[in-house]
Amino acid sequence: MILLGTLALGAGAGAVTYSVAHPSSTKTVVRQVPVQSSQPTADSNGLTPGQIYRQTYQGVVEITVSSPQQTPMGNQEAQAQGSGFVIDSDGHIVTNEHVVDNADSVS
């Protein structure tokens, strides 16, 4: 047992000595590539935020939902709010699913 321990210790010491005396020939090369400036893709004649608001604000709607909620006091009706926007002349509204998920009523 002592012989095996001595052999293992000697092999480890030999490996360390070899790696110090003969360093790896691997080189790390770092190359920097010049960054080219990019041109904006938006048209310089685009709408301002104010113009966008004036053209679209009437299509944005507030959504109020009521949904059941379990509490220590029993079932309660919870209310929440979200937003959406009108997508056609029939008044169909698009909103996120989490706004209306499990809702008893939506207005």
Q: Is residue 82 part of a domain?
A: yes
Query: pLDDT tens across 45-89, in order?
Result: 788 889 988 888 888 999 999 988 888 888 888 899 999 999 888
Using an 8 Å Cβ cutoff, are 68 and 77 in contact? yes
In a domain, 86, yes or no: yes
Instruction: For residue 105, give the nearest of 78, 61, 67 by alpha carbon.
Output: 67
Average pLDDT over residues 10-31: 61
Q: Tell me, yes or no, whether 92 lies in a domain.
A: yes
- Burial class of residue 104 in the structure, from the number of CB atoms within 10 Å of its CB (0-12 exposed, 13-18 middle, 19+ buried): exposed
Name the more confident of 45 and 28.
45
DSSP bridge pairs for 85:
60, 94
Indicate whether 9 belongs to any domain: no
Q: Domain tally for the chain?
A: 1
Q: Which domain holds residue 64?
A: 48-107
Is residue 5 in a domain?
A: no
